[in-house]
Homo-oligomer: A and B are copies of this chain.
Amino acid sequence: MARLPFSPEAIARAEAARASTPPAAIDPRVEALVNQLIGRVADKWTMLVLEALAEHGLLRFTALARAVPGVSQKMLTQTLRQMERDGLITRIVHPVVPPKVEYRLTKLGEGLGAAFCGVWIWAEENLVEVEEARRAFDERAADV
A interface, by DSSP: helix, strand, loop or mixed?
helix
Smallest Cβ distance from A122 to chain B, in angstroms?
4
Nearest chain B CB to A54 CB, angstrom units: 14
Question: Would you call B129 and A85 a contact (CB within 8 A)?
Answer: no
Tell me the smallest distance from the CB of A48 to a CB of chain B, in Å.
7
Which chain B residue has the least Cβ–Cβ distance from A83? B133
Q: Mark A6-40, 1 if CB is under 8 A from B, else 0.
A: 00000100110110011111110011011101110
Residues of B close to A112: CB separation below 8 A: 119, 122, 126
B-binding residues in A (CB < 8 A)? 1-4, 11, 14-15, 17-18, 21-27, 30-31, 33-35, 37-39, 41-44, 47-48, 84-87, 108, 111-112, 114-127, 129-130, 132-134, 136-138
28 contacts between A and B (CB under 8 A): A2-B26, A14-B118, A14-B121, A15-B15, A17-B121, A18-B117, A30-B124, A33-B127, A34-B120, A34-B123, A34-B124, A35-B44, A35-B47, A37-B127, A37-B130, A39-B44, A41-B119, A42-B42, A84-B137, A85-B133, A86-B130, A86-B134, A87-B130, A108-B126, A112-B122, A112-B126, A115-B119, A116-B118
